[in-house]
Copies of this chain bind each other. A is one copy, B any other.
Amino acid sequence: MPDIRAIPVEGLAEVRPGDDVPELILHALRSRRRKLKPGDILVVTHKIVSKAEGQIVGLGEVKPTASARRWAKRFKLDARIVQLGHRESRRIVRRRLGVTISETRHGFVCANAGVDASNVDGGRSAVLLPVDPDRSARQMYRKIKSRVGFAVPVILTDSFGRPWREGLTEVAIGVAGMKALRDLRGRRDPHGYRLRVTMDAVADELACLAGLACDKLSRAPACIIRGYPYQPGRGSGRDLIRPAERDLFR
């Protein structure tokens, strides 16, 4: 087994609508004399992609409903962010103790539909998830491949909470150039036992590694993961969403 390394991509300029994120990342790498190598995976926090795609909403434009205002007041929240979360939700999964767990238009189940005001502009605006994170990942993947001459899988991430467990972990919301799941069903372990249910969410585990390498206080919104023997192929962030009929917790 090879060592696995996560190399934070630092020194990125602040991303603005219309910016070319792959170009900014390649530039940041060049300026630190680092470069992508065959076998690398590029993991990018979705926030800079959302910003480049203009998925930013000035909170001054948001008019909260009376219901959003009541809920916000009760739990000391920003009613405009509550309102935006409702707008971005397809379905409210659970709403209690000031926390709204909703299903986004993409099918992700997360707090407040992924609407977030941190790491934007100090609280005047909020960032939404990309309209189609898999498409965003594919666009970055193609662009980088054409610029460096070899394939580098791309994973876009967000921080989600989970039932039963404390704390956020990073998850993959968009994937391009690799399988998101590693399917071990039917393979045998070193003792000859046939693995029955083992399907590993490797894209989520890679997202977690990137979460350790680029935390929310740093200015490293991306990282390179080197040494992980990924399975090339058509993976997607959607592969990681459990279909309704097989979900025990809808």
A-side residues, CB < 8 A to B, are 1, 3-8, 10, 94, 96-97, 99, 101, 108-109, 111, 117-123, 159, 162-171, 180-182, 184, 187, 189-193, 195-202, 204-206, 208-209, 211-220, 228, 239-242, 246-249
| Cα distance A204–B165 in the bound complex, in angstroms | 10
Q: Which residues from chain B contact A190 at a C-beta distance below 8 Å? A: 119, 217-219
A189 near B217: Cβ-Cβ < 8 Å: yes
A204 CB to closest chain B CB (Å) equals 5
Q: Given A122-B193, A190-B119, A195-B118, A213–B166 Cβ distance below 8 Å?
A: no
Give how many copies assemble into the complex. 2
| Cα distance A4–B218 in the bound complex, in angstroms | 15
Q: Given A3-B5, A4-B6, A94-B248, A168–B122 Cβ distance below 8 Å?
A: no
A228 near B202: Cβ-Cβ < 8 Å: no
B248 near A215: Cβ-Cβ < 8 Å: no
Residue with the greatest number of chain B CB neighbours at <10 A, chosen from A204, A216, A248: A248
* Chain B residue, CB-CB nearest to A162: B162
| Cα distance A192–B124 in the bound complex, in angstroms | 11
Of the candidates B108, B201, B216, B228, the one whose C-beta lies within 8 Å of that of A168 is B201
B248 near A96: Cβ-Cβ < 8 Å: yes
| Cα distance A206–B180 in the bound complex, in angstroms | 19
